[in-house]
Structure 1
Amino acid sequence: MTLSRKLMIDGEQIVATTRTHVKVLILPFLILLVVAGVGGFLINQVGDSGSGVPRWIVIAAMVVLILLGSVIPFLKWLTWTYTLSNKRIVEQKGLLTRTGRIIPLSRINDVAFEKNLNDRILGCGTLIIHDASEQSGLELKDIPHIEAFHRTVTNLVFEKHDKTASDESV
């Protein structure tokens, strides 16, 4: 899911679109495996022993746990995107209510990144962008290939600032 054409401004071109690293889906995947395994075992036990728990209750519990523990986190991951264009950086997120934050490249005055040991192993990290506003910096968490994304953002910011500086001197 990239930036919609109707949200783009004149002369804007998308440079890169990404979402968080797939590492955020490890826990939901494990939840799916455990719930399916334990649920299958319980359905088999309930069916054989004739215990007081109806089979539909176990199935309903499995469905709820899978929805809450796996499907919703996957949909959140799928719909949370970061788009870098030649004019701005856009964060969009949300399942039912879409929200976002937009920072024009000309207002960015600091671009930094953080990588802990796990991030270094998996090749991701957090990009921190500070702009000339009162709001706190925008943290783009778990960005895959963080160094390349950082370089791209930094190059675009330098180009934008150089162009702005040369326009002001004329």
Structure 2
Amino acid sequence: MAYPDDLLSSGEHVVIHKHPHWKMLVFPVFWLLVVVALGTYLGGLFGDQSWAAVVWIVLAAVGAVLVLWLTVTPFVRWRTTHFIITSDRVMYREGVFKRTGLDIPLARVNSVRFEHSFIDRLLGCGTLIIESASDEPLEFDDIPSVEKVHTMLYREVNDNPDDDFYPGTVDGRA
């Protein structure tokens, strides 16, 4: 999955591009099934009445609002949340109407660690924690394959050719 090239600087390329883990969509799908089942049940209860058309319209309107609120909105939020590691920085973008973005230059990353519970380990996701030059560590929840992302970010930070450290020298210079 490529990220839009107009957001990248010259010479920068995408290393990893992830959306949050699919577990964020479990409850929205559950609520979709509940709304459809409940609407169908209630529609069947009042289907024999002379005013059934009004009931069907009301049920459809309430069901549509609930599906938009409980299912479509979380799906759009999931789809528009991006965690990107490039050759130069870590980027986090989220939102549709109100976009929020965070960029951390790789040179500013001090340490990278991850956490995942037993359930997260079963599902293959976790929390990535990046300590940078800022005051507090930044936590990114529900990152799929968090151990692989951790390893790739660690490699990008330590293998960055822009680093000032040159092995085999006393002061870092040849």
**TM-score after normalising by structure 1:** 0.91
* Rounded Cα–Cα distance in structure 1 between residues aligned with 2:125 and 2:70: 23
Within 5 Å, which residues of 2 pair with 1:9-158?
Answer: 9-50=9-50, 54-134=55-135, 136-158=136-158
* Rounded Cα–Cα distance in structure 1 between residues aligned with 2:95 and 2:21: 17
Q: How far did 1:123 drift? A: 1.0
* Rounded Cα–Cα distance in structure 2 between residues aligned with 1:125 and 1:133: 22
CA separation of 1:110/1:161 partners in 2, compared to 1, >3 Å: closer, same or farther? farther
**Residue 169 (1) aligns with residue 173 (2):** yes
Root mean square deviation of aligned Cα: 2.0
List runs of 5+ in structure 1 lacking aligned partners.
none
Residue deviations 1:96-146, cap 9 Å, x none?
Answer: 121110000000001010000110111111000011123x32212111111
Q: How far did 1:161 drift? A: 7.9
* Rounded Cα–Cα distance in structure 1 between residues aligned with 2:162 and 2:148: 21
List runs of 5+ in structure 2 lacking aligned partners.
none
**Aligned length, in residue pairs:** 169
* Rounded Cα–Cα distance in structure 2 between residues aligned with 1:2 and 1:129: 23
Q: Radius of gyration: which is bigger?
A: 2
Residue deviations 1:64-86, cap 9 Å, x none?
Answer: 11011100000000000101101
* Rounded Cα–Cα distance in structure 2 between residues aligned with 1:74 and 1:16: 21
Q: Is the 8 A contact 2:91 2:103 kept in 1?
A: yes
Higher helix share: 1
